[in-house]
Amino acid sequence: MITGKNYIGNNQSAKGSKTYKTFNPLLNIENETVFTEATSDEINEAVVLASEAFRTFRTISGKKKAAFLNAIADEILALDDALIQTYCSETGLPEGRAKGERGRTIGQLRMFADLVTEGSWVEATIDTAQPERQPMPKSDIRKLLVPLGPVVVFGASNFPLAYSTAGGDTAAAFAAGCPVIVKSHPMHAGTGELVASAIVKAAQKTGMPNGVFSNLNSSGIEVGSQLVKHKGVKAVGFTGSIKGGRALYDLAAQREEPIPVFAEMGSINPVVMLPKALKNRNESLAKTYASSITLGTGQFCTNPGLLLGIKSEDLSEFIQNLSNEILKIEPSVMLHPNIIGAYENNKKKATSQPELNVVASYDAEVKTNYARQTITTVEGKTFLENPTLHQEVFGPYSIVVQCENAIQLEQIISKLEGQLTGTLIAEEDEAAQYPEVISALQNRVGRIIFNGVPTGVEVCPSMTHGGPYPASTDSRFTAVGIHSIKRWVRPFSYQDWPDELLPNELKNENPLRISRLVNNKQTTDKI
Protein backbone atom coordinates (compact mmCIF):
# COMPACT_ATOMS: atom_id res chain seq x y z
CA MET A 1 0.00 0.00 0.00
CA ILE A 2 1.19 3.49 -0.83
CA THR A 3 1.15 5.78 2.20
CA GLY A 4 2.58 9.01 0.78
CA LYS A 5 5.23 9.03 3.52
CA ASN A 6 9.00 9.26 3.34
CA TYR A 7 11.33 6.47 4.33
CA ILE A 8 13.91 7.79 6.78
CA GLY A 9 15.98 4.64 6.96
CA ASN A 10 13.56 1.85 7.80
CA ASN A 11 10.92 4.16 9.30
CA GLN A 12 8.07 5.87 7.54
CA SER A 13 7.77 9.51 8.40
CA ALA A 14 5.64 12.45 7.27
CA LYS A 15 6.27 15.42 9.53
CA GLY A 16 5.88 18.05 6.86
CA SER A 17 2.94 20.10 5.73
CA LYS A 18 3.75 20.47 2.04
CA THR A 19 1.92 17.86 -0.01
CA TYR A 20 1.40 16.88 -3.62
CA LYS A 21 -0.15 14.22 -5.83
CA THR A 22 0.95 12.39 -8.95
CA PHE A 23 -0.92 12.61 -12.23
CA ASN A 24 -2.44 10.12 -14.65
CA PRO A 25 -1.85 11.61 -18.10
CA LEU A 26 -4.01 9.02 -19.89
CA LEU A 27 -7.06 9.79 -17.78
CA ASN A 28 -5.96 13.40 -17.33
CA ILE A 29 -6.68 13.29 -13.61
CA GLU A 30 -4.65 13.38 -10.42
CA ASN A 31 -3.97 10.09 -8.68
CA GLU A 32 -5.34 9.71 -5.16
CA THR A 33 -2.38 9.37 -2.81
CA VAL A 34 -1.24 12.50 -1.01
CA PHE A 35 2.55 12.63 -0.72
CA THR A 36 4.16 14.59 2.10
CA GLU A 37 7.36 16.37 1.21
CA ALA A 38 10.36 15.67 3.48
CA THR A 39 11.15 18.38 6.01
CA SER A 40 14.54 19.84 6.68
CA ASP A 41 14.78 17.73 9.86
CA GLU A 42 13.83 14.57 8.04
CA ILE A 43 16.44 15.24 5.36
CA ASN A 44 19.08 15.75 8.01
CA GLU A 45 18.01 12.62 9.82
CA ALA A 46 18.30 10.58 6.62
CA VAL A 47 21.84 11.83 5.98
CA VAL A 48 22.96 11.27 9.57
CA LEU A 49 21.58 7.73 9.43
CA ALA A 50 23.33 7.15 6.11
CA SER A 51 26.65 8.32 7.56
CA GLU A 52 26.20 5.99 10.52
CA ALA A 53 25.24 3.11 8.24
CA PHE A 54 28.33 3.77 6.11
CA ARG A 55 30.59 2.95 9.05
CA THR A 56 29.60 -0.70 8.76
CA PHE A 57 28.21 -0.94 5.24
CA ARG A 58 31.45 0.14 3.63
CA THR A 59 33.29 -2.98 4.75
CA ILE A 60 30.67 -5.73 4.57
CA SER A 61 31.54 -8.58 2.26
CA GLY A 62 30.66 -8.78 -1.40
CA LYS A 63 28.48 -11.80 -0.67
CA LYS A 64 26.38 -9.85 1.84
CA LYS A 65 26.01 -6.94 -0.57
CA ALA A 66 24.95 -9.42 -3.25
CA ALA A 67 22.34 -10.90 -0.93
CA PHE A 68 20.98 -7.39 -0.36
CA LEU A 69 20.89 -6.58 -4.09
CA ASN A 70 19.23 -9.87 -4.99
CA ALA A 71 16.71 -9.40 -2.18
CA ILE A 72 15.81 -5.99 -3.61
CA ALA A 73 15.18 -7.63 -6.98
CA ASP A 74 13.03 -10.31 -5.32
CA GLU A 75 11.03 -7.77 -3.33
CA ILE A 76 10.42 -5.65 -6.43
CA LEU A 77 9.08 -8.72 -8.23
CA ALA A 78 6.92 -9.49 -5.20
CA LEU A 79 5.22 -6.10 -5.58
CA ASP A 80 3.76 -7.64 -8.71
CA ASP A 81 0.67 -5.99 -10.18
CA ALA A 82 0.50 -3.20 -7.63
CA LEU A 83 3.81 -1.89 -8.98
CA ILE A 84 2.85 -2.25 -12.64
CA GLN A 85 -0.51 -0.57 -12.15
CA THR A 86 0.99 2.31 -10.18
CA TYR A 87 3.72 2.74 -12.78
CA CYS A 88 1.15 2.92 -15.59
CA SER A 89 -1.13 5.29 -13.71
CA GLU A 90 1.75 7.67 -13.02
CA THR A 91 3.26 7.69 -16.53
CA GLY A 92 0.67 6.78 -19.12
CA LEU A 93 3.16 4.21 -20.38
CA PRO A 94 1.75 0.82 -21.42
CA GLU A 95 1.96 -2.30 -19.27
CA GLY A 96 4.42 -3.97 -21.62
CA ARG A 97 6.84 -1.13 -21.19
CA ALA A 98 6.39 -1.24 -17.40
CA LYS A 99 7.19 -4.93 -17.32
CA GLY A 100 10.11 -4.54 -19.69
CA GLU A 101 11.57 -1.80 -17.56
CA ARG A 102 11.04 -3.83 -14.42
CA GLY A 103 12.97 -6.66 -16.09
CA ARG A 104 15.81 -4.31 -16.86
CA THR A 105 15.84 -2.99 -13.29
CA ILE A 106 15.90 -6.49 -11.81
CA GLY A 107 18.60 -7.43 -14.30
CA GLN A 108 20.79 -4.51 -13.24
CA LEU A 109 20.43 -5.37 -9.56
CA ARG A 110 21.39 -9.00 -10.21
CA MET A 111 24.27 -7.94 -12.49
CA PHE A 112 25.78 -5.90 -9.65
CA ALA A 113 25.11 -8.77 -7.24
CA ASP A 114 27.16 -11.02 -9.52
CA LEU A 115 29.87 -8.41 -9.81
CA VAL A 116 30.40 -8.05 -6.05
CA THR A 117 30.05 -11.79 -5.45
CA GLU A 118 32.91 -12.43 -7.87
CA GLY A 119 34.81 -9.53 -6.30
CA SER A 120 37.57 -8.64 -8.79
CA TRP A 121 35.90 -5.29 -9.52
CA VAL A 122 37.91 -3.68 -6.67
CA GLU A 123 40.97 -3.72 -8.99
CA ALA A 124 43.24 -5.11 -6.29
CA THR A 125 46.80 -4.07 -7.11
CA ILE A 126 49.74 -5.33 -5.09
CA ASP A 127 53.43 -4.52 -5.21
CA THR A 128 55.33 -6.61 -2.70
CA ALA A 129 58.24 -5.30 -0.65
CA GLN A 130 61.83 -5.28 -1.88
CA PRO A 131 63.78 -4.86 1.36
CA GLU A 132 67.11 -5.22 -0.45
CA ARG A 133 66.45 -2.57 -3.10
CA GLN A 134 69.16 0.12 -3.47
CA PRO A 135 69.43 2.96 -2.65
CA MET A 136 66.21 2.60 -0.64
CA PRO A 137 64.20 -0.47 0.34
CA LYS A 138 60.77 -0.69 -1.26
CA SER A 139 57.67 -0.96 0.92
CA ASP A 140 54.85 -3.42 0.40
CA ILE A 141 51.93 -1.45 -1.11
CA ARG A 142 48.44 -2.75 -1.86
CA LYS A 143 45.55 -0.89 -3.38
CA LEU A 144 41.83 -1.48 -3.84
CA LEU A 145 38.72 0.55 -4.60
CA VAL A 146 36.68 1.68 -1.58
CA PRO A 147 33.28 3.43 -1.42
CA LEU A 148 33.00 7.24 -1.21
CA GLY A 149 30.19 7.48 1.34
CA PRO A 150 26.46 8.36 1.18
CA VAL A 151 25.23 8.97 -2.38
CA VAL A 152 22.15 11.01 -3.27
CA VAL A 153 20.23 9.73 -6.30
CA PHE A 154 17.87 11.84 -8.42
CA GLY A 155 15.79 9.60 -10.70
CA ALA A 156 14.55 10.38 -14.18
CA SER A 157 10.94 11.11 -15.10
CA ASN A 158 11.10 8.88 -18.17
CA PHE A 159 12.38 5.69 -16.50
CA PRO A 160 10.53 5.34 -13.17
CA LEU A 161 12.18 1.98 -12.50
CA ALA A 162 15.47 1.52 -14.39
CA TYR A 163 16.81 5.05 -13.79
CA SER A 164 15.07 5.88 -10.54
CA THR A 165 14.61 4.60 -6.97
CA ALA A 166 16.33 1.22 -7.44
CA GLY A 167 17.79 2.01 -10.85
CA GLY A 168 21.35 1.88 -12.11
CA ASP A 169 22.70 4.65 -9.87
CA THR A 170 21.30 3.07 -6.70
CA ALA A 171 22.32 -0.47 -7.62
CA ALA A 172 25.88 0.65 -8.44
CA ALA A 173 26.13 2.66 -5.20
CA PHE A 174 24.96 -0.24 -3.04
CA ALA A 175 27.37 -2.56 -4.86
CA ALA A 176 30.17 -0.11 -4.14
CA GLY A 177 29.29 -0.01 -0.43
CA CYS A 178 27.65 3.42 -0.41
CA PRO A 179 24.37 4.13 1.41
CA VAL A 180 21.78 5.78 -0.86
CA ILE A 181 19.32 8.58 -0.27
CA VAL A 182 16.82 8.88 -3.10
CA LYS A 183 15.25 12.23 -3.88
CA SER A 184 12.01 10.74 -5.13
CA HIS A 185 10.79 11.95 -8.52
CA PRO A 186 7.49 13.79 -7.96
CA MET A 187 5.93 12.48 -11.18
CA HIS A 188 6.14 8.85 -10.03
CA ALA A 189 6.20 9.18 -6.25
CA GLY A 190 3.91 6.17 -5.80
CA THR A 191 6.07 3.90 -7.94
CA GLY A 192 9.02 5.29 -6.01
CA GLU A 193 7.49 4.54 -2.63
CA LEU A 194 6.64 0.98 -3.64
CA VAL A 195 10.19 0.36 -4.82
CA ALA A 196 11.51 2.04 -1.67
CA SER A 197 9.42 -0.33 0.44
CA ALA A 198 11.02 -3.24 -1.44
CA ILE A 199 14.52 -1.89 -0.71
CA VAL A 200 13.71 -1.38 2.97
CA LYS A 201 12.31 -4.91 3.26
CA ALA A 202 15.37 -6.31 1.53
CA ALA A 203 17.67 -4.34 3.83
CA GLN A 204 15.92 -5.68 6.91
CA LYS A 205 15.81 -9.27 5.67
CA THR A 206 19.51 -9.28 4.83
CA GLY A 207 20.62 -7.46 7.98
CA MET A 208 21.79 -4.20 6.45
CA PRO A 209 22.32 -1.26 8.84
CA ASN A 210 19.40 1.11 9.27
CA GLY A 211 20.03 4.16 7.09
CA VAL A 212 21.59 2.27 4.20
CA PHE A 213 18.62 3.62 2.27
CA SER A 214 16.15 6.49 2.57
CA ASN A 215 13.50 7.78 0.17
CA LEU A 216 12.51 11.44 0.39
CA ASN A 217 9.44 12.94 -1.23
CA SER A 218 9.85 16.26 -2.94
CA SER A 219 7.92 18.30 -5.45
CA GLY A 220 10.24 21.31 -5.69
CA ILE A 221 13.94 22.00 -5.59
CA GLU A 222 14.46 22.51 -1.83
CA VAL A 223 14.86 18.89 -0.77
CA GLY A 224 17.38 18.20 -3.50
CA SER A 225 19.34 21.37 -2.77
CA GLN A 226 19.55 20.65 0.94
CA LEU A 227 20.71 17.11 0.23
CA VAL A 228 23.45 18.12 -2.20
CA LYS A 229 24.71 20.78 0.19
CA HIS A 230 24.72 18.48 3.22
CA LYS A 231 28.18 17.78 4.63
CA GLY A 232 27.40 14.10 5.07
CA VAL A 233 26.66 13.53 1.38
CA LYS A 234 29.71 12.43 -0.62
CA ALA A 235 28.43 12.05 -4.21
CA VAL A 236 25.39 12.67 -6.40
CA GLY A 237 23.81 10.75 -9.25
CA PHE A 238 21.27 12.47 -11.47
CA THR A 239 19.36 11.71 -14.66
CA GLY A 240 17.31 14.47 -16.22
CA SER A 241 17.46 17.89 -17.81
CA ILE A 242 20.55 20.02 -18.40
CA LYS A 243 19.05 22.76 -16.27
CA GLY A 244 18.43 20.45 -13.32
CA GLY A 245 21.72 18.60 -13.59
CA ARG A 246 23.75 21.76 -13.95
CA ALA A 247 22.07 23.35 -10.93
CA LEU A 248 23.09 20.38 -8.78
CA TYR A 249 26.59 20.32 -10.26
CA ASP A 250 26.99 24.01 -9.36
CA LEU A 251 25.74 23.48 -5.80
CA ALA A 252 28.16 20.59 -5.31
CA ALA A 253 31.10 22.53 -6.76
CA GLN A 254 30.40 25.46 -4.45
CA ARG A 255 30.49 23.36 -1.27
CA GLU A 256 33.36 23.85 1.16
CA GLU A 257 34.19 20.24 0.33
CA PRO A 258 33.20 19.82 -3.34
CA ILE A 259 31.74 16.42 -4.20
CA PRO A 260 31.43 14.57 -7.51
CA VAL A 261 28.14 14.85 -9.39
CA PHE A 262 27.46 12.45 -12.20
CA ALA A 263 24.55 13.94 -14.12
CA GLU A 264 23.33 12.34 -17.31
CA MET A 265 21.51 15.13 -19.10
CA GLY A 266 20.29 16.18 -22.51
CA SER A 267 21.31 14.88 -25.90
CA ILE A 268 20.05 15.30 -29.46
CA ASN A 269 21.94 12.21 -30.68
CA PRO A 270 23.07 13.25 -34.17
CA VAL A 271 22.59 10.79 -37.01
CA VAL A 272 24.87 11.21 -40.02
CA MET A 273 23.52 9.76 -43.25
CA LEU A 274 26.11 9.23 -46.00
CA PRO A 275 25.06 9.53 -49.67
CA LYS A 276 25.30 5.94 -50.86
CA ALA A 277 23.34 4.57 -47.94
CA LEU A 278 20.68 7.21 -48.52
CA LYS A 279 20.48 6.19 -52.15
CA ASN A 280 20.29 2.44 -51.46
CA ARG A 281 18.05 2.37 -48.40
CA ASN A 282 16.00 5.51 -48.58
CA GLU A 283 12.60 4.08 -47.73
CA SER A 284 13.67 1.62 -45.10
CA LEU A 285 15.74 4.30 -43.36
CA ALA A 286 12.75 6.62 -43.32
CA LYS A 287 10.61 3.87 -41.78
CA THR A 288 13.24 2.96 -39.19
CA TYR A 289 13.76 6.55 -38.16
CA ALA A 290 10.08 7.48 -38.06
CA SER A 291 9.75 4.66 -35.59
CA SER A 292 12.85 5.58 -33.54
CA ILE A 293 11.84 9.25 -33.31
CA THR A 294 8.39 8.41 -31.97
CA LEU A 295 9.42 5.45 -29.77
CA GLY A 296 8.04 6.00 -26.26
CA THR A 297 6.58 9.30 -27.53
CA GLY A 298 10.16 10.46 -28.11
CA GLN A 299 10.83 10.34 -24.38
CA PHE A 300 14.24 8.70 -24.50
CA CYS A 301 17.52 10.42 -23.74
CA THR A 302 18.87 8.67 -26.84
CA ASN A 303 16.08 9.89 -29.13
CA PRO A 304 17.47 10.91 -32.55
CA GLY A 305 16.74 14.63 -32.58
CA LEU A 306 19.14 15.60 -35.36
CA LEU A 307 19.57 14.00 -38.79
CA LEU A 308 22.47 15.22 -40.93
CA GLY A 309 22.93 14.62 -44.63
CA ILE A 310 24.57 16.16 -47.68
CA LYS A 311 22.19 17.93 -50.05
CA SER A 312 21.03 15.67 -52.86
CA GLU A 313 17.92 14.34 -54.50
CA ASP A 314 18.20 11.33 -52.26
CA LEU A 315 18.19 13.50 -49.16
CA SER A 316 15.13 15.38 -50.42
CA GLU A 317 13.45 12.06 -51.07
CA PHE A 318 14.38 10.86 -47.59
CA ILE A 319 12.84 13.95 -46.04
CA GLN A 320 9.67 13.27 -48.00
CA ASN A 321 9.66 9.60 -47.03
CA LEU A 322 10.35 10.36 -43.37
CA SER A 323 7.51 12.91 -43.38
CA ASN A 324 5.14 10.39 -44.87
CA GLU A 325 6.14 7.64 -42.49
CA ILE A 326 6.01 9.68 -39.32
CA LEU A 327 2.52 10.95 -40.10
CA LYS A 328 1.33 7.34 -40.32
CA ILE A 329 2.19 6.82 -36.67
CA GLU A 330 -0.57 7.19 -34.10
CA PRO A 331 0.28 9.91 -31.57
CA SER A 332 0.76 8.69 -28.00
CA VAL A 333 0.53 10.16 -24.56
CA MET A 334 3.41 11.91 -22.77
CA LEU A 335 4.38 11.32 -19.14
CA HIS A 336 2.87 14.42 -17.59
CA PRO A 337 1.14 17.69 -18.52
CA ASN A 338 4.37 19.50 -17.63
CA ILE A 339 6.30 17.38 -20.09
CA ILE A 340 3.89 17.88 -22.93
CA GLY A 341 3.83 21.57 -22.04
CA ALA A 342 7.60 21.74 -22.30
CA TYR A 343 7.49 19.78 -25.57
CA GLU A 344 5.04 22.17 -27.15
CA ASN A 345 7.00 25.20 -25.92
CA ASN A 346 10.36 23.93 -27.09
CA LYS A 347 8.93 22.87 -30.43
CA LYS A 348 7.37 26.28 -30.87
CA LYS A 349 10.68 27.94 -30.06
CA ALA A 350 12.50 25.73 -32.55
CA THR A 351 9.97 26.03 -35.35
CA SER A 352 9.78 29.79 -35.02
CA GLN A 353 13.48 30.16 -35.88
CA PRO A 354 14.12 31.88 -39.23
CA GLU A 355 14.70 29.71 -42.31
CA LEU A 356 13.42 26.58 -40.63
CA ASN A 357 10.83 24.54 -42.54
CA VAL A 358 8.28 22.30 -40.92
CA VAL A 359 7.96 19.39 -43.33
CA ALA A 360 5.70 17.14 -41.30
CA SER A 361 3.44 17.93 -38.39
CA TYR A 362 0.65 15.74 -37.15
CA ASP A 363 -2.35 18.03 -37.43
CA ALA A 364 -5.37 15.95 -36.55
CA GLU A 365 -7.12 16.23 -33.23
CA VAL A 366 -5.36 14.35 -30.42
CA LYS A 367 -6.38 13.49 -26.87
CA THR A 368 -5.18 15.65 -23.97
CA ASN A 369 -1.50 15.04 -23.11
CA TYR A 370 -0.84 13.35 -26.46
CA ALA A 371 2.12 14.64 -28.45
CA ARG A 372 2.03 15.56 -32.14
CA GLN A 373 5.16 14.37 -33.91
CA THR A 374 7.00 16.93 -36.02
CA ILE A 375 9.84 16.91 -38.56
CA THR A 376 11.63 20.07 -39.65
CA THR A 377 14.45 20.80 -42.06
CA VAL A 378 17.05 23.50 -42.41
CA GLU A 379 20.14 24.41 -44.46
CA GLY A 380 23.54 23.55 -43.00
CA LYS A 381 24.60 27.18 -42.88
CA THR A 382 21.51 28.21 -40.92
CA PHE A 383 21.98 25.39 -38.46
CA LEU A 384 25.66 26.26 -37.96
CA GLU A 385 24.82 29.85 -37.14
CA ASN A 386 21.84 29.32 -34.85
CA PRO A 387 22.61 27.53 -31.56
CA THR A 388 18.90 27.50 -30.64
CA LEU A 389 18.47 24.82 -33.29
CA HIS A 390 21.03 22.63 -31.45
CA GLN A 391 18.86 22.46 -28.33
CA GLU A 392 16.99 19.33 -27.39
CA VAL A 393 13.23 19.24 -27.99
CA PHE A 394 12.32 16.37 -25.65
CA GLY A 395 9.57 14.45 -27.46
CA PRO A 396 8.79 13.12 -30.95
CA TYR A 397 10.65 15.84 -32.84
CA SER A 398 13.59 15.78 -35.18
CA ILE A 399 15.35 18.22 -37.47
CA VAL A 400 16.95 17.23 -40.78
CA VAL A 401 19.95 19.37 -41.69
CA GLN A 402 20.87 19.62 -45.37
CA CYS A 403 24.61 20.29 -45.58
CA GLU A 404 26.35 21.77 -48.61
CA ASN A 405 29.11 19.18 -48.60
CA ALA A 406 31.21 16.89 -46.40
CA ILE A 407 33.28 19.79 -45.11
CA GLN A 408 30.24 21.60 -43.82
CA LEU A 409 28.97 18.33 -42.38
CA GLU A 410 32.18 17.94 -40.41
CA GLN A 411 32.03 21.59 -39.30
CA ILE A 412 28.55 21.12 -37.96
CA ILE A 413 29.47 17.97 -36.08
CA SER A 414 32.52 19.66 -34.57
CA LYS A 415 30.36 22.55 -33.34
CA LEU A 416 27.82 20.32 -31.61
CA GLU A 417 27.72 20.13 -27.83
CA GLY A 418 28.64 16.80 -26.24
CA GLN A 419 26.22 13.96 -26.97
CA LEU A 420 25.36 10.56 -25.54
CA THR A 421 25.41 8.98 -28.98
CA GLY A 422 26.25 9.56 -32.61
CA THR A 423 25.07 7.33 -35.44
CA LEU A 424 26.57 6.75 -38.85
CA ILE A 425 24.31 5.51 -41.64
CA ALA A 426 26.62 4.30 -44.39
CA GLU A 427 27.40 1.52 -46.79
CA GLU A 428 30.41 -0.45 -45.56
CA ASP A 429 32.62 0.69 -48.43
CA GLU A 430 31.71 4.35 -48.16
CA ALA A 431 32.43 4.90 -44.44
CA ALA A 432 36.18 4.75 -45.01
CA GLN A 433 35.91 7.70 -47.40
CA TYR A 434 34.77 10.04 -44.61
CA PRO A 435 37.49 9.76 -41.94
CA GLU A 436 37.15 13.40 -40.84
CA VAL A 437 33.41 13.14 -40.45
CA ILE A 438 33.74 10.00 -38.35
CA SER A 439 36.59 11.44 -36.34
CA ALA A 440 34.61 14.61 -35.61
CA LEU A 441 31.61 12.55 -34.54
CA GLN A 442 33.69 10.33 -32.24
CA ASN A 443 35.05 13.41 -30.53
CA ARG A 444 31.58 14.69 -29.58
CA VAL A 445 29.88 11.53 -28.28
CA GLY A 446 30.09 8.69 -25.76
CA ARG A 447 28.86 5.93 -28.09
CA ILE A 448 28.93 5.66 -31.86
CA ILE A 449 26.55 3.41 -33.79
CA PHE A 450 26.87 1.98 -37.26
CA ASN A 451 23.67 1.59 -39.28
CA GLY A 452 21.36 1.40 -36.33
CA VAL A 453 19.29 3.67 -34.16
CA PRO A 454 20.50 5.32 -30.95
CA THR A 455 17.41 4.37 -28.95
CA GLY A 456 17.94 1.28 -26.82
CA VAL A 457 20.80 1.25 -24.31
CA GLU A 458 22.06 -2.29 -23.79
CA VAL A 459 23.08 -3.04 -20.20
CA CYS A 460 26.48 -4.70 -20.66
CA PRO A 461 30.11 -4.14 -19.65
CA SER A 462 31.03 -2.54 -22.99
CA MET A 463 28.31 0.13 -22.84
CA THR A 464 29.15 3.80 -22.43
CA HIS A 465 26.11 5.80 -21.42
CA GLY A 466 27.51 9.27 -20.91
CA GLY A 467 29.64 11.59 -22.99
CA PRO A 468 31.16 15.05 -23.21
CA TYR A 469 29.26 17.85 -21.45
CA PRO A 470 26.30 18.40 -21.47
CA ALA A 471 25.55 14.75 -22.25
CA SER A 472 27.04 14.23 -18.80
CA THR A 473 28.84 16.37 -16.25
CA ASP A 474 31.88 14.07 -16.35
CA SER A 475 32.64 12.14 -19.52
CA ARG A 476 35.07 9.90 -17.65
CA PHE A 477 32.24 7.74 -16.36
CA THR A 478 29.30 5.74 -17.66
CA ALA A 479 25.82 5.58 -16.11
CA VAL A 480 25.09 2.09 -17.44
CA GLY A 481 26.89 -1.23 -17.06
CA ILE A 482 29.20 -2.65 -14.40
CA HIS A 483 31.77 0.10 -14.82
CA SER A 484 29.22 2.65 -13.60
CA ILE A 485 30.29 1.54 -10.12
CA LYS A 486 33.49 3.57 -10.63
CA ARG A 487 31.53 6.78 -10.05
CA TRP A 488 31.15 5.89 -6.38
CA VAL A 489 34.57 4.56 -5.41
CA ARG A 490 38.10 5.79 -4.86
CA PRO A 491 41.47 4.03 -4.80
CA PHE A 492 42.93 3.39 -1.37
CA SER A 493 46.42 2.09 -0.56
CA TYR A 494 47.84 0.15 2.37
CA GLN A 495 51.58 0.44 2.95
CA ASP A 496 53.40 -2.30 4.93
CA TRP A 497 50.08 -3.23 6.50
CA PRO A 498 49.97 -6.49 8.54
CA ASP A 499 48.42 -9.27 6.48
CA GLU A 500 45.81 -10.19 9.12
CA LEU A 501 44.53 -6.59 9.23
CA LEU A 502 44.22 -6.23 5.45
CA PRO A 503 40.82 -6.62 3.78
CA ASN A 504 40.37 -10.10 2.28
CA GLU A 505 40.83 -8.70 -1.22
CA LEU A 506 44.46 -7.86 -0.43
CA LYS A 507 45.58 -10.69 1.84
CA ASN A 508 48.50 -12.88 0.73
CA GLU A 509 46.31 -15.99 0.61
CA ASN A 510 43.81 -14.31 -1.74
CA PRO A 511 40.95 -16.01 0.12
CA LEU A 512 38.36 -14.59 -2.30
CA ARG A 513 40.28 -15.97 -5.33
CA ILE A 514 39.84 -12.68 -7.16
CA SER A 515 41.95 -11.50 -10.06
CA ARG A 516 44.66 -9.10 -8.88
CA LEU A 517 47.57 -7.23 -10.42
CA VAL A 518 50.51 -8.57 -8.40
CA ASN A 519 53.91 -7.12 -9.23
CA ASN A 520 52.54 -6.11 -12.63
CA LYS A 521 51.07 -9.51 -13.45
CA GLN A 522 47.31 -10.16 -13.48
CA THR A 523 46.69 -13.33 -11.48
CA THR A 524 44.37 -15.16 -9.09
CA ASP A 525 47.33 -16.82 -7.35
CA LYS A 526 48.18 -16.36 -3.72
CA ILE A 527 51.38 -14.55 -2.77
Q: Counting contacts by CB under 8 A, is residue 247 touching a second copy?
A: no
Pick 149 or 179: Cβ nearer a second copy: 149
Distance CA 65, CA 109 (A): 11
Q: Counting contacts by CB under 8 A, is residue 483 touching a second copy?
A: yes
Contact region with a second copy (CB under 8 A), list: 29-37, 83-91, 133-141, 293-301 = 133-141
Q: Counting contacts by CB under 8 A, is residue 479 touching a second copy?
A: no
Q: Which residues are paired to 375 by β-bridges?
A: 360, 398
User: What is the side-by-side strand order in the sheet with 235-239?
Assistant: 11-13, 6-8, 213-216, 180-183, 151-154, 235-239, 261-264
Footprint on residues 149-168 left by a second copy (CB under 8 A): 149
Footprint on residues 43-102 left by a second copy (CB under 8 A): 55, 58-59
Residue 112 makes CB contacts below 8 A (sequence gap 6+) with: 69, 171, 172, 174, 175, 482, 485
Q: Counting contacts by CB under 8 A, is residue 257 touching a second copy?
A: yes
Q: Is 313 exposed, middle or buried (0-12, 13-18, 19+ CB in 10 A)?
A: exposed
Footprint on residues 399-438 left by a second copy (CB under 8 A): 417-418, 428, 431-432, 438
Pick 357 or 508: Cβ nearer a second copy: 508
Active site residues: 264, 301
Helix axes 168-176, 62-91, angle to 10 degrees: 160
**Number of chain positions touching a second copy (CB under 8 A):** 75
Q: Name the minimum Å distance from CB 449 to a second copy.
A: 4
Q: Counting contacts by CB under 8 A, is residue 127 touching a second copy?
A: yes
Q: Name the minimum Å distance from CB 454 to a second copy.
A: 9
Q: Name the minimum Å distance from CB 156 to a second copy.
A: 20
Beta strand pairing call for 19-20 and 35-36: antiparallel
Q: Counting contacts by CB under 8 A, is residue 112 touching a second copy?
A: no
Q: Name the minimum Å distance from CB 34 to a second copy.
A: 38
Q: Counting contacts by CB under 8 A, is residue 504 touching a second copy?
A: no
Q: Counting contacts by CB under 8 A, is residue 349 touching a second copy?
A: no
Q: Counting contacts by CB under 8 A, is residue 243 touching a second copy?
A: no
Q: Counting contacts by CB under 8 A, is residue 387 touching a second copy?
A: no
Distance CA 18, CA 401 (A): 47
Q: Counting contacts by CB under 8 A, is residue 523 touching a second copy?
A: no
Which stretch of DSSP H or E encloses residue 12? strand 11-13
Pick 155 or 467: Cβ nearer a second copy: 467
Distance CA 441, CA 454 (A): 14
Q: Counting contacts by CB under 8 A, is residue 478 touching a second copy?
A: yes
Q: Name the minimum Å distance from CB 233 to a second copy.
A: 13
Beta strand pairing call for 397-403 and 374-379: parallel
CA distances to 95, 214, 217, 232, 299 from 17, in Å: 34, 19, 12, 25, 33
Contact 359, 402 (CB under 8 A): no
Q: Counting contacts by CB under 8 A, is residue 131 touching a second copy?
A: no
Distance CA 116, CA 455 (A): 29
Footprint on residues 437-476 left by a second copy (CB under 8 A): 438-439, 442-443, 446-452, 456, 458, 460-464, 466, 468-470, 473-476
